[in-house]
Amino acid sequence: MSFLSLVRIEHQKVRRSKIFLILVLATVILWIPSVLNADLNFGMQAVGISPENSFFIQGFMAMAWFLFPAAMVVITVLQNQTERNDHGILKMLSLPVGTAKLCMAKFAVLVSFSAVQFLMSAGMYYISAAAASRTQGYAFCLPLFFIFKETGMMWASAIPMLAFFWLLAVCIRTPVFSIGIGLASIVPSVLMINTKIWFAYPMAYPFFVITSEYGKLAENLNTAPVRLVPWLPAAALITAVCLIISCLCFGRAERR
């Protein structure tokens, strides 16, 4: 069985799970305050950022710091619950599919959901920017290419974090622990992006990327620039380690 058809099966498993509802809800909740408080973007002279850039950056910072990681923790829980409730995993393990392949297919589904979340956010950004332009009489919309570049970069930088969450969900079987550790690990990223070892903390990556972009867009703000070394090697190492361990652990408890 090809990897792609396995991914398709995994997508099928989360049907009717209202997962899109959660993603939509998260996106809507993210942008509503931005539209309501759009006037605050005109008072950013101290930072030296234009209102339209400020509108964009505030929304995506809120997303990258907490909402997006938290939504991903919830999705990993969902993926595992559908498998473990009613022992679906046992059936899967009794079928001729490699467990590592199965594990990776599920991770691929997680990555695809994260992409959907970013796409929705970009779409919702344009809707809310248009709404804010209306209410404030000021053009808030930024060029499409810029938005795609930024969301794309945040999404790519989130992959090591997703690998870590996936590791938690696979290896920690007690739901309260995997959820708790996942959510708790998000909170310190505010502290971590201000330290020299931020690259060792994957949960801080998307937030670091957008914060660094903030520094570029705001004249009077100094944020650490994105340096690919040692970030890229560290990220690749973390991702690989997390995925290898989760593939090794996947389904182990059920096969005992």
Partner 1 sequence: MNLMRLELEKIRRTGFLPAFLGGGILAAAVPMANMAFRPELYTGLSDPPVSILLGANWQMMSMLNVLLIVAGACVLYYIEYADNAMRKMGTLPVREGSLFFGKAAVLILAGTLLLAIEAVSVCGCSIHWFSRAAAPSAGILKSFGFFLLMLTPAALLSLTIASACRNLWTSLGIGVVCVFAATMIPAQDFALTLFPFAMPFQTLGNHAADVIRNYAIAAAAETAVIVLLEVIILKVRRAFA
Shortest separation between residue 67's beta carbon and partner 1, angstroms:
5
Residues 132-171 that bind partner 1 (CB under 8 A): none
25 vs 232 by CB, closer to partner 1: 25
- Interaction of residue 217 with partner 1, rule CB under 8 A: no
Q: Is residue 78 a contact point for partner 1 (CB under 8 A)? A: yes
Q: Does the footprint of partner 1 cover residue 176 (CB under 8 A)? A: yes
Which DSSP string do the residues of the chain spell out, in sequence order? --HHHHHHHHHHHTTTS-HHHHHHHHHHHHHHHHHHTGGGGGG-TTTT--HHHHHHHHHHHHIIIIIHHHHHHHHHHHHHHHHHGGGHHHHHHTSS--HHHHHHHHHHHHHHHHHHHHHHHHHHHHHHHHHHHHHHTS--PPPHHHHHHHHHHHHHHHHHHHHHHHHHHHH--SHHHHHHHHHHHHTTHHHHTTSTTGGG-GGGHHHHHHHHHHHHH-TT-------HHHHHHHHHHHHHHHHHHHHHHTTHHHH-
Of positions 33, 50, 97, 101, contacts partner 1 by CB under 8 A: 33
Q: From the CB of 168, what's the least distance to partner 1, in Å?
A: 13
Closer CB to partner 1, residue 40 or residue 142? Answer: 40
| Binding residue for partner 1, selected from 187, 236, 237, 253, defined by CB under 8 A | 187
- Using CB under 8 A, which of the segments 49-57, 71-79, 88-96, 214-222 binds partner 1? 71-79
Report if residue 179 touches partner 1, rule: CB under 8 A: yes
Chain residues in the site for partner 1 (CB under 8 A) = 18, 22, 25-26, 29-30, 33, 37, 62, 66-67, 70-71, 73-75, 77-78, 81, 85, 174-177, 179-180, 183-184, 187-188, 190-191
